[in-house]
C-alpha cells in the first residue's frame, strides 16, 4: 500500500505519489478508454491524489477536458470520495497557446466551471496556476480566499511561485500546497529555500514534471551512471528520481504523468524505495552529468 502524508495542515491524507492528469488531455493524448484505464490502475494501486487543471485540453474550445475525464472516471469507479482531485485556475488556451489570466473575476468563473466538470459540491484543493503579470498577485490570491469563504473550494494552493510570493499569499489566506517544477534539471526549489520553508510551515510540496518531461525521461533511462545505481538497488532510473524527491522532502507528493498503465505502476514502485542520505548524495552526483 502506498504511504500517505497529510495535505498541508488540513488533516486530510493523500498518497505520497500522485497522478498528474495533463498528458491524458493535451496534444497526443490517448483515446478515452486508454485514459480511463490509466486512472483506474492508479486507483487500484492506492493513488489517492490526482492533479488536473481547466486548461489540460487542446485549446479554449476544449476547456475542462481533463477535469471531466477524471470526474466521470472516478464516479464510475465509485472513488470520488476516496481520491482527492486538485485542480487549478489562472491560465487560458487561445489557439492552443498557454497564456496567464488570473484576474479575480476570471478565477471565480473558472473555479465554478471546474467544480461542475469534476462533479463536486466543493473543490477540495484549488490552486492558482501561475501569477499573472497583468493582475496584482495579491488580488488573485484574494479571489481564491473569496472562493474559500463562499464554500466553492476548501483549501487553497499555489503553483509556479517563488518564496516571496508564497509569503505574500500567506498574509491573505492559509496556503496548503505549492506546486512547482522540481526535477534533476531544475532544482530551484532547493536553492531558493522554498523546500525548507514548506517543511517548516507544513505546506505540501507538489513537484510537477518530476522526471523532466517526456523527452527527458528517455535521457534518464539511458544515463549510464543512473543505470548502474538503479541496477544495484533493483529499480529504474525514473523510479530512483521519484524516490530521491520523496527523500528530499517528507511532505512532497510528486505527480508524474502517465499515458500507460505501466508508467503509473513504475511511479508507485518508487514509494517503496529506501533512499537514504548516502544514496541521495550518489544520485545528485550522477545528476551532474545528465545531458541538458
**Which of 84, 88, 123 shows the shortest CA–CA distance to 5?**
84
Q: For this structure, is 197 an active site residue?
A: no
CA distance 212 to 214: 7
Are the CB atoms for 27 and 58 separated by under 8 Å? yes
Task: Name 89's bridge partners.
Answer: 128
Active-site position among 56, 126, 182, 208: 56
Q: What is the DSSP string of 84-119?
A: EEEEEESEE-GGG--EE---HHHHHHHHHHHHHHHT
Which cell numbers in the block locate residue 117?
Answer: 466538470
List, in sequence order, the alpha helices (H) in 136-175: 137-149, 163-170
Distances (CA, A) of 178 to 5, 159, 206, 218, 240: 15, 5, 6, 27, 23
Are the CB atoms for 269 and 221 separated by under 8 Å? no
The vertex-136 CA angle with 124 and 181, nearest 5°, equals 55
Task: Name 181's bridge partners.
Answer: 208
Which conformational region is residue 68 in: left (phi greater than 0), alpha (psi within -120 to 50 degrees), or beta? alpha
Q: Within a 10 A sphere around the Cβ of 141, how many other Cβ atoms?
A: 26
Helix or strand (DSSP H, E) at 285: helix 277-287
What residues are annotated to the active site? Answer: 56
Amino acid at each position: 500500500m502506498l504511504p500517505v502524508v497529510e495535505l498541508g495542515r488540513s488533516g486530510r491524507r493523500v498518497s505520497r505519489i500522485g497522478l498528474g492528469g495533463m498528458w491524458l488531455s493535451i496534444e497526443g493524448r490517448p483515446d478515452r478508454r486508454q485514459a480511463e484505464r490509466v486512472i483506474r490502475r492508479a486507483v487500484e494501486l492506492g493513488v489517492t491524489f490526482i492533479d488536473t487543471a481547466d486548461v489540460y485540453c487542446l485549446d479554449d474550445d476544449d476547456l475542462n477536458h481533463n477535469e471531466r475525464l477524471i470526474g466521470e472516471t472516478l464516479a464510475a469507479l465509485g472513488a470520488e470520495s476516496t481520491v482527492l482531485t486538485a485542480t487549478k485556475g489562472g491560465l487560458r488556451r487561445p489557439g492552443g497557446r498557454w497564456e496567464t489570466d488570473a484576474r479575480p473575476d476570471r478565477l471565480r468563473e473558472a473555479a465554478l466551471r471546474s467544480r461542475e466538470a469534476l462533479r463536486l459540491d466543493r473543490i477540495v484543493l484549488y490552486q492558482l496556476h501561475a501569477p499573472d503579470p497583468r493582475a496584482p498577485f495579491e488580488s488573485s490570491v484574494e479571489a481564491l480566499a473569496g472562493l474559500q469563504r463562499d464554500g466553492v473550494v476548501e483549501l487553497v494552493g499555489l503553483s509556479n511561485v517563488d518564496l516571496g510570493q508564497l509569503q505574500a499569499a500567506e498574509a491573505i489566506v492559509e496556503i496548503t500546497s505549492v506546486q512547482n517544477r522540481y526535477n534533476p534539471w531544475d532544482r530551484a526549489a532547493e536553492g531558493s529555500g522554498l523546500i525548507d520553508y514548506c517543511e517548516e510551515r507544513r505546506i505540501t510540496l507538489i513537484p510537477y514534471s518530476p522526471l523532466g518531461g517526456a523527452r527527458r525521461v528517455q535521457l534518464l533511462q539511458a544515463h549510464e551512471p543512473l543505470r548502474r545505481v538503479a541496477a544495484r538497488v533493483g529499480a529504474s532510473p525514473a523510479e530512483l528520481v521519484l524516490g530521491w524527491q520523496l527523500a528530499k522532502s517528507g511532505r512532497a507528493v510528486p505527480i508524474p504523468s502517465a499515458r500507460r498503465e505501466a508508467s503509473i505502476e513504475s511511479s508507485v514502485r518508487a514509494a517503496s524505495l529506501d533512499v537514504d542520505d548516502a544514496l541521495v548524495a550518489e544520485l545528485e552526483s550522477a545528476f551532474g552529468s545528465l545531458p541538458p
